[in-house]
Structure 1
Amino acid sequence: MREALFRCKSTRVALAALLSLTALTSCSSVAPSARNAEANHDIGTPLTAQDLAAWNIDVAPDGRGLPAGSGDVATGAHIFAAKCAACHGAQGQGGLGDQLIGGQGTLTSAKPKRTVGSYWPYATTLFDYIRRAMPYTAPESLSADEVYALSAYLLNQNGVVPANTRLDAASLPRVVMPNRDGFVADPRPGRL
């Protein structure tokens, strides 16, 4: 009886090995691209150009990638009070979040203050950062108009642009930041 049971288990193991080998052989005889084309595992959804556009929101220092829209300093002040002051302080002096206003002339001191007006080299990267990361509790929730307005407000409060400024994709890249020349250029080809 014991010998018959052993043979039965051996037969099952041998059969399983044979079936596995057959499956591997049949899989390997089909080209990888054909296997992938035939397989439909119902996993995921093909991405559309519209899906990719939602993720392609980076803005380059020269302004490439800036969206349509515009915003002015006065509107930015209202948005800042409603959506930014809780973390950055009513006057941009800092709090839970970083100080955004002031700091000019401190970068070479023992306690530099890296703010929008003292440190950032490009106004376009300010736009990019606000658009992607702010407000902290709801990143990417601001419209393009709101981000342009916040950028105008912060630049105005740092003395970079006048109070009647309206920024858009054409004007924002032309803003010259006080510390634009305070950075070393990237020597690699194709870099700004």
Structure 2
Amino acid sequence: MSWPSSAALGLAAALACTLAATAAEFGRPASPEEIRLWDIDVRPDGRGLPEGRGSVARGSQVFEENCAACHGESGQGGIADRLAGGNGSLASDHPVKTVGSFWPYATTLFDYVRRAMPYPAPQTLSDDDTYAVVAYLLNLNGIVPADATLDRASLPAIRMPNRDGFVPDREFITIHNSRQSSASKP
């Protein structure tokens, strides 16, 4: 019988200590303020959208200053994903997935831009500028007119062209339906 290496013994000791530790030994509960800073998700129905508003015209300026270097002029031709065009291409041999052809909810676009853009400085756009960029992108895709101004009331009302293109897995539908029926029972 051979003795385990010191590295293996150290790993086993660390694992044993980790398993025996309680949550309190690893940190503290987050404060309401800390939770508020991270709780920025926006749901498809618009829950979570902040106050603010933004126009297509302002969005064009914000896009030029923060987005065009990666996504190209008018959302096409840059080094990053194409954002405009592709309408009717999803069923083809060469689908073009853009904001207008692929995304199912305008609110999801807002959530993504707010949380992840602009690269490499995510979460630096104001809520007003995020609404404006979203308005501009939706206009580039022919979804809203050039004089549109979006806010937390108007954004969820936008029906994206591919809204019905996403079908949940049967497993999700089963889980969702069972949760709804158990929640409605007295």
Equivalent AA in structure 2 for residue 164 of structure 1: D
Unaligned runs of 5+ in 1: 1-31
In the TM superposition, residue 77 of structure 1 has moved relative to its aligned partner by: 0.2
Equivalent AA in structure 1 for residue 47 of structure 2: R
Residue number in structure 2 paired with 1:48: 31
**Identical counterparts, % of pairs:** 58
Residue number in structure 1 paired with 2:98: 115
Equivalent AA in structure 1 for residue 176 of structure 2: P
In the TM superposition, residue 68 of structure 1 has moved relative to its aligned partner by: 0.6
- Asked whether the 8 Å contact 1:122–1:177 carries over to 2, the reply is yes
Normalised by the length of structure 1, the TM-score is 0.74
- Asked whether the 8 Å contact 1:59–1:128 carries over to 2, the reply is yes
Question: Quick one: distance in 2 between partners of 1:47 and 1:118?
Answer: 40
Query: Segments of 4+ in structure 1 off by > 4 A?
Result: 43-46
- Asked whether the 8 Å contact 1:94–1:100 carries over to 2, the reply is no
1:62 is the counterpart of 2:72: no
Which structure: larger Rg?
A: 1
Question: Quick one: distance in 1 between partners of 2:146 and 2:79?
Answer: 27
Which of 153, 156, 164 is 1:181 aligned to? 164
Which of 131, 135, 139 is 2:122 aligned to? 139
The RMSD of aligned alpha carbons is 2.1
The count of corresponding residues between Structure 1 and Structure 2 is 153
In the TM superposition, residue 94 of structure 1 has moved relative to its aligned partner by: 3.6
Residue number in structure 2 paired with 1:150: 133
- Asked whether the 8 Å contact 1:74–1:153 carries over to 2, the reply is yes
In the TM superposition, residue 95 of structure 1 has moved relative to its aligned partner by: 1.8
In the TM superposition, residue 51 of structure 1 has moved relative to its aligned partner by: 1.3
1:128 is the counterpart of 2:111: yes
SS where residue 150 of structure 2 aligns?
Answer: strand
SS where residue 54 of structure 2 aligns?
Answer: strand
Residue number in structure 1 paired with 2:71: 88
Q: Aligned runs of 1:20-59 on 2, under 5 Å?
A: 47-59=30-42
